[in-house]
A = this chain, B = another copy of it.
């Protein structure tokens, strides 16, 4: 029985869905990490609330099933969420990664995947929650901005924080440049957080996310603490990235 459990633990990948509304570059980062063997999840479906989202094409290129559900076709947020839940459950999805999904989700959706929904936000939360994270940061004139992966709860951009990355900002610079810099680290921390989720290494205690150390690579933490990553600007990522991310 124990042997069976161990075998199951090794061979069964967490079935996830990635929800998008646009370009899906974070989806691409997840696909790339799955394909290079660093991230062991089964992307069962990419769901978009916007027809023609570029991310849907990315999914098709990698033979990932897609689904478009327009929120405009539903009478309420709850009805829209209910239909998403039905589609995703039918596909066997157990966990959700929101990667640029520009809709507020309701308890209908939250309760269908308890403790298994994560989101990436392009700012160092709690600064600059809401739709315009990068623009708001640029307009505020911060010297440091960044991004956050967090569990989703009933408030927008509010749930317990899994990982954050800080990047330099230059007050007065074009917001596109800051957005691009933040996106480079988004592509690192979202696959990393997804891996931790898939490995069952994240536990939530109140507002605190506890990360269980890896069983496989005992030296990874001390190595990663130096925050040596191949990005062409200085940044700070915490918890540190592990090998392969």
Contacts and interface: CB of A to CB of B under 8 A. Distances in A.
Contacts of A205: 172
A169 interface: yes
A148 to B, nearest CB: 8
Given A226-B234, A227-B234, A236-B235, A171 B207 contact: yes
A210 B127 contact: no
Interface string A117-128: 000000011111
Interface string A126-137: 111000000000
A176 interface: no
Q: How many copies does the complex hold?
A: 2
A239 interface: yes
Interface string A220-245: 00000111000001111011100000
B227 A141 contact: no
Contacts of A168: 236, 238-239
A166 interface: yes
A198 interface: no
Interface in A6-44: none
Interface string A177-193: 00000000000000000
A222 to B, nearest CB: 12
Nearest to A172: B208
Given A142-B161, A144-B238, 12 more contacts: A126-B128, A127-B127, A140-B207, A141-B206, A141-B208, A141-B209, A144-B166, A146-B166, A168-B236, A172-B210, A226-B234, A235-B236
12 contacts: A124-B124, A124-B142, A124-B144, A124-B166, A139-B207, A141-B209, A146-B166, A161-B171, A167-B236, A225-B233, A226-B234, A234-B236
